[in-house]
Structure 1
């Protein structure tokens, strides 16, 4: 496996949530604290920003629909962003006045969108993971998390992997019986953040604080690791027409001045070619006209 190399000229405060939009051959990601949803091209391992959508709040995640519409997890509610740039507010996930925000999100095997929360007001054990149904109802999957983070599904769609970062845990569960979760991984160093599955059902985990992406076999054994010159590794995705270009996002957030001087590539996106392609991630299945206005 080749080493990861910086792929963007620009650095980002808290880059997260890379998503390969295969239909348009574009990479999507967010800069959470800057309130940016970004679009970019991928060419020979380099990523160029082609469009930037700015929000007046944090943005935790983005997912495209088949027609190019984007579903964006803003700070407290979902937003539908049409290809022409118009926006429509969707369901509120975080109650008004709560000191929390939406964080990482992903589409399940049928295209429904899941997203979780994190606390803005100190330690928590009541963060949620919810699913947006095709009829715009909200289904609560978890309500006892410390910090809901990365999401991924096995290639047969039967197993959901979900991250609870402050517990350093990756859960696994039968997606047909989502309340019956179990601990799949428990890290003893660093904090699990974004995740992705490859076509061999191995789980790739971005490890915040360790500057690593780790690859785990289906039984939870560590089989490989990639190191980055950026300690705050945030997420990972398989991209490109053959899904063999691994994209890793990183952050400058929460690094001291001394750490930033020691790790000047922090905040960039990184890429490398991998031997096993990624599992494809479905587009968002929702219809923009079906979402109610946030309340």
Structure 2
């Protein structure tokens, strides 16, 4: 499918080696995302354009609102509660006892539970896993995962999606909508292997469409719940990594990107790699649920 020409804009010029984990807090009008390997948490107030970058003592990858005073952060050191006023970090739970691993993609289920993936720092084969976190209870769902991505959920919470980007097949699994726990074995929804690029981060909109950032092709692909590709939107960076709905109506799409793994020539040919974009189209998004403690 021929991609639609990029009609958006660069939302933030800051360059991240590995921009990931974007989300939006409608209560404060603020977009958040990580530069994972740079150990940074980026904060952008959309209306004013006010920008802050918070240094982290770990490799953070996922942020979720708990309440107006607290956020949840997933990292290579486990799960932490962050005070929104002071930035103070308080340990909440350990994901796994594997110092060579870090967290990667994750998202909060409509029930308030978290799905979070881990992987080897060098993307070692099958070194990671995907976990379900309810409060402080951590349950391993799937192991032998190399690069966990695309964790997202249908609006009613009855279906979950995820991918191991090395395998490059997006999986669909039936869930208990009240808990976010699987009720059946996952099945293949989208086989990305025959096509260029890797299935990276995804988010589901209010109609259940899956918006996927395709790493290596500089695009966001849109799939129906049955796995049919219905649209593709180009972006001016090859390694697009993850989308998030932003704006007071969740009607815009933020997309992060990365330059990790590029040599000097590749970076010169891809000058916007690592920047953060507004796709520039109107979408029917929805706000992320809060993590329930």
What is the alpha-carbon distance in structure 1 between the residues aligned to residue 206 and residue 89 of structure 2?
Answer: 35
- In structure 2, what is the equivalent of residue 260 of structure 1? 267
What is the alpha-carbon distance in structure 1 between the residues aligned to residue 205 and residue 106 of structure 2?
Answer: 18
Which of the numbers 237, 248, 256 marks the counterpart of 1:241? 248
What is the alpha-carbon distance in structure 2 between the residues aligned to residue 47 and residue 224 of structure 1?
Answer: 30
Whether 1:128 aligns to 2:132 is: no
Whether contact under 8 Å (2:134, 2:292) holds in the other structure is no
Q: What 5-or-longer segments of structure 1 have no aligned partner?
A: 287-295
Q: Secondary structure at the match of 1:72?
A: strand
Which of the numbers 224, 227, 230 marks the counterpart of 2:231? 224
Q: Secondary structure at the match of 2:46?
A: strand
CA offset at residue 264 of structure 1? 0.9
Whether contact under 8 Å (1:230, 1:266) holds in the other structure is yes
Whether contact under 8 Å (2:205, 2:284) holds in the other structure is yes
Whether contact under 8 Å (1:141, 1:178) holds in the other structure is no
Whether contact under 8 Å (1:142, 1:179) holds in the other structure is no
Whether 1:17 aligns to 2:21 is: yes
What is the alpha-carbon distance in structure 2 between the residues aligned to residue 121 and residue 155 of structure 1?
Answer: 34
- In structure 1, what is the equivalent of residue 179 of structure 2? none
- In structure 2, what is the equivalent of residue 91 of structure 1? 93
Whether 1:198 aligns to 2:205 is: yes
Length-normalised TM-score, structure 2: 0.90
CA offset at residue 60 of structure 1? 1.6
Paired residues, number: 281
Whether contact under 8 Å (1:7, 1:47) holds in the other structure is no
- In structure 1, what is the equivalent of residue 56 of structure 2? 55
1:9-88 aligned at under 5 Å gives the runs 9-43=13-47, 48-49=50-51, 51-83=52-84, 84-88=86-90
CA offset at residue 102 of structure 1? 0.9
- In structure 2, what is the equivalent of residue 168 of structure 1? 168
CA offset at residue 90 of structure 1? 2.0
What is the alpha-carbon distance in structure 1 between the residues aligned to residue 42 and residue 211 of structure 2?
Answer: 23
Whether contact under 8 Å (1:20, 1:28) holds in the other structure is yes
Q: Secondary structure at the match of 1:166?
A: coil
Q: Secondary structure at the match of 2:267?
A: helix
Q: What 5-or-longer segments of structure 2 have no aligned partner?
A: 177-181
Whether contact under 8 Å (2:26, 2:287) holds in the other structure is no
Post-superposition CA distance 1:203-259 (Å, at most 9, x none)? 011011111110011211111111112111100011101111110000111112111
Whether contact under 8 Å (2:123, 2:147) holds in the other structure is no
CA-based RMSD of the aligned residues comes to 1.8
Q: Residues 202 and 104 (structure 1 numbering): CA distance in 2 closer, same or farther, change over 3 Å?
A: same
CA offset at residue 121 of structure 1? 4.8
Q: Residues 101 and 39 (structure 1 numbering): CA distance in 2 closer, same or farther, change over 3 Å?
A: same
Q: Secondary structure at the match of 2:21?
A: strand
